[in-house]
């Protein structure tokens, strides 16, 4: 199974998993907040995975600076998580 198929399947699962509670709450269809939340989570997961893969690759190339790379990776991942949390709150409120 290639990565595009996995990403599409995961995005559809997140999309529908977040949409059904939104549809049940109003009795109508409200895709905007759920769609935004799904896209936000997928984007954050992709960004953090790219940071992790780049950090591991650079640590393998230069083991003597692994501590500095790991610190920078953790800071970047924390910033992405903060922005993701803010975006999720905006998606929930904008319902």
CA atoms within 13 A on the CB side of 87: 18
**37, exposed or middle or buried, with CB in 10 Å at 0-12, 13-18, 19+?**
buried
What's the pLDDT at 61? Answer: 94
Domain that holds residue 38: 3-93
Token representation of residue 33? 């907040």
**72, exposed or middle or buried, with CB in 10 Å at 0-12, 13-18, 19+?**
middle
**Span 46-86, pLDDT tens digits:** 889 999 999 999 999 999 999 999 999 999 999 999 998 98
CATH, residue 13: 1.20.20.10
The pLDDT > 90 percentage for the chain reads 36
Q: How many domains does the chain have?
A: 1
**5 pLDDT more than 90:** no
* 69 Cβ contact partners less than 8 Å away, ≥ 6 residues apart: 55, 58, 59, 62
What span, in angstroms and rounded, lies between the C-alpha atoms of 75 and 72? 5
């Amino acid at each position: 199974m290639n990565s595009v198929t996995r990403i599409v399947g995961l995005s559809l699962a997140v999309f529908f998993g977040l949409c059904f509670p939104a549809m049940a709450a109003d009795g109508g269809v409200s895709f905007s907040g759920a769609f935004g939340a799904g896209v936000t989570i997928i984007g954050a997961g992709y960004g953090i995975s790219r940071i992790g893969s780049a950090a591991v690759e650079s640590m393998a190339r230069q083991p003597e600076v692994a501590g500095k790379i790991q610190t920078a990776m953790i800071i970047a991942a924390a910033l992405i998580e903060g922005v993701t949390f803010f975006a999720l709150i905006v998606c929930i409120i904008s319902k």
